[in-house]
Amino acid sequence: MREEIMMNIDNPGQLERLYRDNKTGFRKAFNAVYTGIREHTVAQVWHERLNYEQEEITWGTRKELIFVLSACFIAGLIAKIPDYTQLDPEQFYTRNIAFIVFPLLTAYFAWKQKINTKKLMFIATVYLVTGVYINLLPGTTSDTLILACIHLPLFLWAVLGYTFTGNDPGNFQRRLDFLRYNGDMIVMTGLILIAGGALTAITFNLFNLIDLKVDTFFEQYVAVWGLPAAPIIATQLVRTNPQLVNKISPVIAKLFTPLVLIMLTLYLVAVIITGKDPYNDREFLLIFNALLIGVMAIIFFSIAENQKNRQSRISEWLLFGLSIVTVIVNGIALSAIIFRIFEFGITPNRLAVLGGNILMLVNLLIATYWLYKTIKDSNEIEKVENSIAAFLPIYAAWALVVIFVLPVMFNFS
């Protein structure tokens, strides 16, 4: 890409084609070579175009605002279904909590990306089938049902990513953009929820001063509509105002990478010193796996941010170190699961965790290898990114197995 930009600096038409083919890759390559071509007027114009940041905050067009407000209202209606019906709230939210927000976010990106009709029908069918299926699964506390409910949000997240990529789901760059969107959306959602929490606390105290209790009203209406609305509003904000978080997310990635590396290293040392045994302590193994998933998410988010904001060699070393330590944690967790299967037999929970850990270990080993190569040659970072992007559909496929195959395999027990 760099060579093509330099060769076509006097060919605006070809530069525009390169940009439209791969906007993120073009921006990164252009900024990398800009110092060598900055005397060209065309280069100066492109630099301003690619790096311009608007100061004011915009909510987008009127159509976008109407769509977002409608989506927030519909999400609240879905969340209120138990109040309007005879459905048990616990059972409803256990099975359907993912359907409160994901369909609306998917509709948002289907609209923004101008998804073709065939793909749109496929996505709608997937939502319909999974929605009917999860609510028809028998039982209330069976292991296979709980596993299906846990993995359903992961699968619907993958459907959201499939929609986000537009009409080119095989584009690795679009998949990385999706990971970055998730990081930015989480940051913005957190800020919205903090502000909402502060407003709620102030409101409660003000009305308490005049002996009016508004707790029930807030719980039944404001919170039920406000919580699902937060990620939808956050999505619109980060998509129309990228300058709001495009400096915060890299800082978070840079800050948490060394902190998590230190914490994870100390944790492994503490496990050895205290003699905690993941091989026979089931709850400890579950926490161990939850920790592993969290660290994996941080690694993936940090690498996705690294692609957009080229970081220092120290950052690459830190990511490599964190990957190594995480491979060790994954190895311990995986060996403990295999031990428990041989010792106590196979169960739906053990099989689901085994498959997930194997996938994460393979993904981590590949990413760690390319991170090591990146330390020697920074251009190899694209191989790290591609290894992550390539694995996203595999995680979705495993989630499908857990949701649809395991319940039948274990007779819905």
Q: Give the pLDDT confidence of 226-279 residue by residue, as tens digits.
A: 899 999 999 998 888 777 776 676 677 777 778 888 888 888 888 788 777 677
Written as six digits, the tokens of 15 are: 């530069």
Say yes or no: 10 and 155 in one domain: no
pLDDT at 162: 93
Say yes or no: 109 and 239 in one domain: yes
Domain assignment present for residue 189? The answer is yes
Alpha helices per DSSP H over 38-171: 41-51, 62-79, 81-84, 89-96, 98-112, 117-136, 143-164
Say yes or no: 195 and 268 in one domain: no
Selection from 160, 178, 181, 294 nearest residue 239 by Cα: 181
Domain assignment present for residue 57? The answer is no
Say yes or no: 22 and 136 in one domain: no
pLDDT averaged over 10-residue windows placed end to end, the chain, 413 residues: 79 78 73 78 78 66 90 92 87 92 94 89 95 88 89 94 85 84 88 88 82 77 86 90 71 77 84 74 71 76 62 74 85 86 87 89 87 77 81 92 91 81
Domain assignment present for residue 89? The answer is yes
Say yes or no: 47 and 112 in one domain: no
Say yes or no: 215 and 108 in one domain: yes
Number of structural domains (the chain) is 3
Domain assignment present for residue 334? The answer is yes
Say yes or no: 73 and 18 in one domain: no
User: The tokens 């616990």 sit on which residue?
Assistant: 90
d(CA 158, CA 397): 9
Containing structural domain, residue 334: 247-409
Q: Pick from 218, 243, 268: which residue ends a domain? A: 243
Q: Are residues 67 and 88 in contact, defined by beta-carbon separation less than 8 angstroms?
A: no
Domain assignment present for residue 56? The answer is no
Q: Is 60 left (phi over 0), alpha (psi -120 to 50) or beta?
A: left
Domain assignment present for residue 363? The answer is yes
Say yes or no: 335 and 354 in one domain: yes
Say yes or no: 193 and 303 in one domain: no
pLDDT at 305: 63
Distances (CA, A) of 66 to 59, 74, 192, 196, 277: 10, 12, 19, 21, 54
Q: Give the pLDDT confidence of 323-345 residue by residue, as tens digits.
A: 888 888 888 888 888 888 888 88
Q: Pick from 243, 260, 295: which residue ends a domain? A: 243
pLDDT at 149: 92
pLDDT at 177: 85
Say yes or no: 41 and 120 in one domain: no
Domain assignment present for residue 72? The answer is yes
Say yes or no: 165 and 273 in one domain: no
Single-letter residue type at 269: V
Selection from 154, 143, 150, 146 nearest residue 348 by Cα: 143
d(CA 78, CA 92): 10
Q: Pick from 185, 212, 243: which residue ends a domain? A: 243
Say yes or no: 193 and 268 in one domain: no
Domain assignment present for residue 141? The answer is yes
